[in-house]
Every structure is written in structure tokens, then in C-alpha cells.
């Protein structure tokens, strides 16, 4: 019997990271942008002028994660927490005079958080795009910025409103995806990706994000256009999922591709999905 793959397409207009910033196709994805909501002020009145400590844990809520600044109290990492700071530092001098919410600042921090996210988890780029773990970055408040603070803070979070809320993290997340566990990987339960419920892969599911493919091999390639990105994604994902399933006689697959906004953020990959309960 000839193989008859079913092609579902999902197009996300931007590849973003925080799980409050889910793609239009209802897919959780790794690569983030900072939101522009009002920042959470420091209840003590003290200004945070130096870069926050790496390794600190916090019990962040959805409201905290939606803000562009955060001064939540740290908690012991052995207790329940939903966020862990995996990277922080100072902006380069060339960005010191930029506005806190400028595109240049956002893109610079985005690149740093993305790279360090993968290194922290022990994940390659493909695994990092297929996990329910994500990240959010915070900047100084307007008052802190005016006082000269130029730091950034990258916090790892897991889950989100599209699953069952933000999940409690283990005491340390370092190396958590070096050997991926299904509890941290992304699946969907439903007839299609668009109509299904996002779940972790240890739960009952019908679709699994199994591979990613590079649309182009060179990172400095100009955006080739929506039609080319989708066509390339479709063809590569058909082959990739077919191989992942062991070349069955019949299989269903789907794919998620991303547009020019995500390309500008550095993403060159699409996600391939297999219909499977395993």
C-alpha cells in the first residue's frame, strides 16, 4: 500500500518564547520576546541597579510573567517555584543610551537568552523548540533605568496557560533536557493541532512534535518569502516524519512554519509533528 501522508499546516506569524506569548497556531515555542506591560515595582522601594543573581528561584505568576520588569522575592529552590534565573548580565555599552523597550535591546537580550537557555538545559536547538519549558526576560523598571541600571534577567519557566498553568520546577533545571523526559516535551491531544489541547508527552496525546528542520542552511540568508518557507517545510517534514515513524505504509503528519518576524529574530527552523500516541 502506498504511503498517504496527511498534510496539516500551521503558520505562526512570529516565533516567541514566554508561554504567555504562544503562537497563533496554539503552539508553545522556544525563542522569546519581552512583553511591554507595566513592570512590577519593588515593594521595598529599593532600586535594583546591579544584575540579579543567576540560580535564584521565584514563584512567578502569569501576571508576573506578562510584565516587562519583575522584583518578586526569591524563594529556596528546594521549595515550590515556577521560575529559575539561568542568565543575567549587563547590556553592552553601545545600547546604554537606547530606550529600555527598544527593538535593539530586545533583540540583543533575546539572542543571549536563547543561546544560554539551550546551554543551561543541555538541549540542542531542535529539542529546545519542542519542549514545554520556555523563558521570559526582565529588564529594569523605568525608575531603575533612569538611575543607570542596564541589566537583563532570563528566567526559565515551564508550562503556561495553554497547558495547566505554570508548573513547579525541580530544584535545579541545569541539564534537564540532556536526556529529554516526556514530562517536559510538547504534544497535542486532539484531531488537529489547531483544535487540540496542548499537553506534555507523558499525558494522553495524538500529536507529538518529533523533529525540526532548517529551512535554509545559512543564518544570514534573507527571508525567502512565505511560499518558499511553507513549501520547504512541508516537503522536509513529510520526509522527516516518515523516517521518524520507521517508514510505515500510511501515516499522518503536520508542520508549523514561521514568518518574517521570527526570521528577523534569528529562527531558521520549522517544527514537524507526527500523529502518534507514543
Between 60 and 13, residue with greater pLDDT: 60
C-alpha cell at 222: 534573507
Q: Which of 59-63, 162-166, 222-226 has the lowest mean pLDDT?
A: 162-166
pLDDT tops 60 at residue 2: no
Q: Is 85 in a helix, a strand, or coil? A: strand
pLDDT at 6 over 90: no
pLDDT digits (tens, 9 = 90+) for 107-119: 899 889 999 999 9
Name the residue with cell 518529533: 210
Distance of CA 165 to the CA centre of its chain: 15
- Cα 159 to Cα 21: distance, rounded to the nearest angstrom: 12
pLDDT: which is higher, 251 or 17: 251
Tell which residue, 27, 2, 6, 3, has the closest CA to residue 253.
6
Closest among 212, 180, 185, 181 to 199, alpha carbons compared: 185
CA distance linking residue 162 with residue 199, whole number of Å:
8
Which residues, 6 or more positions from 262, have their beta carbon under 8 angstroms from its beta carbon? Answer: 12, 13, 14, 15, 16, 31
User: So what's the pLDDT on residue 165?
Assistant: 86
Instruction: Please report which confidence band the pLDDT of residue 37 belongs to, taking 50, 70 and 90 as the band edges.
Output: very low
Sign of CA dihedral 207, 114, 32, 162: positive
Is the pLDDT assigned to residue 33 strictly greater than 90?
A: no
pLDDT tens digit sequence for 186-205:
999 999 888 899 999 999 99
Residue 103's pLDDT band (cuts 50, 70, 90): confident
- Look at the chain and count its residues: 278
Query: What is the chain's mean pLDDT, rounded?
Result: 84
pTM of the full predicted structure?
Answer: 0.82
Stronger pLDDT, 35 or 269, i.e. the higher one: 269
Torsion of CA 197, 202, 206, 212, to 10 degrees: 90
DSSP bridge partners of 11: 257
What sign does the dihedral 49-53-57-61 (CA atoms) show? positive
Distance, in Å, from the CA atom of 45 to the CA atom of 63, rounded to the nearest integer, reads 20
In the chain, what percentage of residues exceed pLDDT 90? 68
| Interval 117-166: pLDDT, tens | 999 999 999 999 999 999 999 999 999 999 999 999 999 999 887 888 89
CA distance 49 to 120: 25
Amino acid at each position: 500500500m502506498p504511503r498517504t501522508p496527511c498534510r496539516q499546516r500551521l503558520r505562526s506569524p512570529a516565533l516567541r518564547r514566554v508561554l504567555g506569548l504562544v503562537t497563533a497556531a496554539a503552539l508553545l515555542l522556544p525563542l522569546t520576546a519581552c512583553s511591554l506591560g507595566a513592570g512590577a515595582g519593588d515593594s521595598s522601594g529599593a532600586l535594583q541597579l546591579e544584575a540579579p543573581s543567576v540560580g535564584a528561584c521565584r514563584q512567578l505568576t502569569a501576571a508576573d510573567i506578562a510584565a516587562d520588569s519583575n522584583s518578586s522575592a526569591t524563594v529556596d529552590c528546594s521549595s515550590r517555584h515556577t521560575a529559575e534565573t539561568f542568565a543575567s548580565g549587563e547590556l553592552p555599552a553601545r545600547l546604554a543610551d537606547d530606550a529600555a523597550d527598544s527593538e535593539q535591546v530586545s533583540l540583543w537580550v533575546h539572542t543571549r537568552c536563547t543561546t544560554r537557555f539551550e546551554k543551561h538545559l543541555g538541549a540542542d536547538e531542535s529539542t529546545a523548540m519542542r519542549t514545554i519549558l520556555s523563558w521570559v526576560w526582565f529588564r529594569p523598571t523605568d525608575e531603575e533605568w533612569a538611575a543607570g541600571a542596564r541589566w537583563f534577567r532570563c528566567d526559565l519557566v515551564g508550562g503556561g496557560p495553554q497547558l495547566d498553568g505554570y508548573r513547579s520546577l525541580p530544584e535545579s533545571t541545569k541539564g534537564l533536557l540532556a536526556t529529554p523526559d516526556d514530562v517536559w516535551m510538547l504534544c497535542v491531544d486532539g484531531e488537529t493541532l489547531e483544535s487540540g489541547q496542548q499537553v506534555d508527552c507523558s499525558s494522553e496525546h495524538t500529536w507529538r512534535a518529533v523533529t525540526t528542520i532548517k529551512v535554509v542552511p545559512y543564518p544570514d540568508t534573507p527571508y525567502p518569502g512565505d511560499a518558499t518557507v511553507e513549501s520547504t517545510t512541508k516537503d522536509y517534514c513529510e520526509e522527516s516524519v516518515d523516517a521518524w515513524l520507521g517508514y510505515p505504509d500510511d501515516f499522518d503528519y503536520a508542520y508549523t512554519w514561521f514568518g518574517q518576524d521570527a526570521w528577523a529574530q534569528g529562527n531558521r527552523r520549522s517544527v514537524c509533528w507526527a500523529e502518534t500516541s507514543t
